[in-house]
Structure 1
Amino acid sequence: MKKNIFLTFVFASLFFLSTACKEKKVSLGNTISFDKEENIRYGNAPEQSMDLYIPHQKSDNNRNVFIIIHGGGWRGGNKSQLTLFTLSMMQRFPDDIFVNMNYRLASTTQYAIPNQMIDIQSAIAFIERKLNYNPRLILLGNSAGGHLSMMYAYHFDADKKVKAVINIVGPADLSDPGFATYEDYPFVEKHLIDPNILPSETSAIDFGSPVHWITKTSPPTLSYYGKTDRVIPLTQEKILDSALVNNNVMHESYEFNGGHLDWDKIPNRKFLIDQIEKFIQHIDKK
């Protein structure tokens, strides 16, 4: 029964995407609807764009803003990969605001960081101007997007605006021997971090590892890792959990059956959204 309901939602979402892409409203049920703006430019580069979903029934200014950050090895991917997941999250969190963002992709001539950190910061500033208040931010990303979510929240969020991080199969420690088998690891070593921003005696691998920047003031973090992931090994979960424990940071981590892309499949997606809901509720009570 639950599977049928989920499939009905997916088919309805696909129908919406294919036939009503120019509409300004997303309806996800009798009482759930969002005003949407697609491909909003938050910067001058073509890749600096976002899709924005705001609950149609306006409420107070205490809503969370989920900023969704796609994966793709830092130099690939697109926000469209997470559109259906974003719609699933919107159905579960009908009172919150959602941003599904693109960012400038890395290449052999353009470093991922700091550019992608600047893009997240610019997207946040754009949202704050548009909403005319400073919302509570939740960064959620998968794979490289999970890494970027952690990096921004742990190190680049100078004003501590990020309330929580949802890390889905994101690498937390780039020095982990298990991660070094990643087929694109040479790119990570040479092109992830601009050497001009490295502090003295800090390697690019250390600088680019989110665990390197965890402190006692880091935001609560929920992580989700695959038991048979050949891209991001399960050792990453243990390393991240250990760093969060050592700094007394509120956190939860879960494992799903499957590989790197299976987090978004039935029943893993529903389990993840269930845990996100409980996690956010727990944070809200503190």
Structure 2
Amino acid sequence: MSKFLKMQLYFLFCMLLHVRGQHILIPDVPYGTHPEQIMDIYLPSGNTTRVSKVVVLIHGGAWFSGQKEDMLEFVPFLERDFPEYCIANMNYRLGTHEDPGFPKQVDDLDLALTYLRGTFTDDVTFALFGTSAGAHLSMLYSFSRDITNDVKVIVSHVGPVDLTDPSYVANPLYNGLFYNLVGPCLYAECPELYNVTSPIIYVDENSPKTIGFYGNLDLQVPSTQMPMLREKLDLFGIPNKFTLYQGGHGWNWSDEDKEDLRVQITQFFNQHW
């Protein structure tokens, strides 16, 4: 039996179990062989195979923690505003000092998108929607590894973009922040590793359109990060939009700002994808 037929039978079985409004939830679909390589897939209920757009949600957690359930707050508005889109909410292999996240986490994104490309009958394009470390990975993959240019839009929710920024490397408070991504090595000891894991260095004229949201009191993403990315995208003429909200690393923003974020994402998708 072919992989595609097996997947369709699996989808049909799961349809009997999980129905959410306009989407059908298929939980814990493996896209690789490692136990952490799983995703929840939300299929449009009208047609489960003819999908052309997929929003991939990538959780944060400083590259060593977190899970796909952390992104559930964003699923309802995507289901509501984009009933014809597929939503994939993925886990990825977590990093440690001994087994850091780079490059395996970028490899996991590549593997997940390859799996999704092979799942549907139509050619698909993607929007990557990441929070914190997940936003960093979304940008790192899309700017450096997406040679097919299938990723059309990035949503960066408090994502760091330049790990070589003096705001990071010259501040001892950030020592060790990236160890679960690059291993126990400070910037002064291995600057090239911090450089190749900085999404901003890969921005060029083919980069995806990008929308970002940051907090003006964020202690994990310095205030210098957002304007750096905006300036680099503007340099190459990439459509972008960034908003700075009152608050910290995403979790203590006002309800009004969170609703504004959702409205802006919907508008950006409709305009640019």
TM-score class, shorter: 0.7 to 0.9
Q: Decide whether the 8 Å contact of 2:52 with 2:122 is kept in 1.
A: no
The C-alpha deviation readout for 1:233-260, integer Å capped at 9, x for no partner, is 2211111111111111111111111110
Secondary structure of residue in 2 paired with 1:186: coil
Q: Which runs of 5+ in 2 are unaligned?
A: 1-15, 185-189
Residue identity matched to 1:95 = E
Secondary structure of residue in 2 paired with 1:262: coil
Residue identity matched to 2:20 = V
Q: Decide whether the 8 Å contact of 1:262 with 1:268 is kept in 2.
A: no
Q: Which runs of 5+ in 1 are unaligned?
A: 1-21, 28-32, 196-200
Give the equivalent residue in structure 1 for 2:163: 174
Q: CA deviation at 1:58?
A: 1.7
Q: 1:186 aligns with which of 166, 176, 180?
A: 176
Q: 1:162 aligns with which of 151, 157, 169?
A: 151
Residue identity matched to 1:230 = L
Q: CA deviation at 1:60?
A: 8.7
Q: Decide whether the 8 Å contact of 1:229 with 1:260 is kept in 2.
A: yes
Matched, 1:114 2:103: yes
Q: In the superposition, relative to structure 1, how do residues 236 and 263 fare at CA in structure 2: closer, same or farther (>3 Å)?
A: farther
Q: CA deviation at 1:113?
A: 1.5
The C-alpha deviation readout for 1:158-187, integer Å capped at 9, x for no partner, is 211111111110001111232344856425
Q: 1:255 aligns with which of 240, 244, 268?
A: 244
Q: In the superposition, relative to structure 1, how do residues 129 and 236 fare at CA in structure 2: closer, same or farther (>3 Å)?
A: same
TM-score (norm 1): 0.82
Give the equivalent residue in structure 1 for 2:199: 210
- Alignment root-mean-square deviation, CA: 2.3
Q: In the superposition, relative to structure 1, how do residues 182 and 245 fare at CA in structure 2: closer, same or farther (>3 Å)?
A: farther
Please show how residues 223-234 of structure 1 align to structure 2 within 5 Å: 223-234=212-223
Secondary structure of residue in 2 paired with 1:100: strand
Q: Decide whether the 8 Å contact of 2:51 with 2:86 is kept in 1.
A: no
Give the equivalent residue in structure 2 for 1:18: none
Aligned length: 252
Give the equivalent residue in structure 2 for 1:10: none
Residue identity matched to 2:248 = G
TM-score (norm 2): 0.85
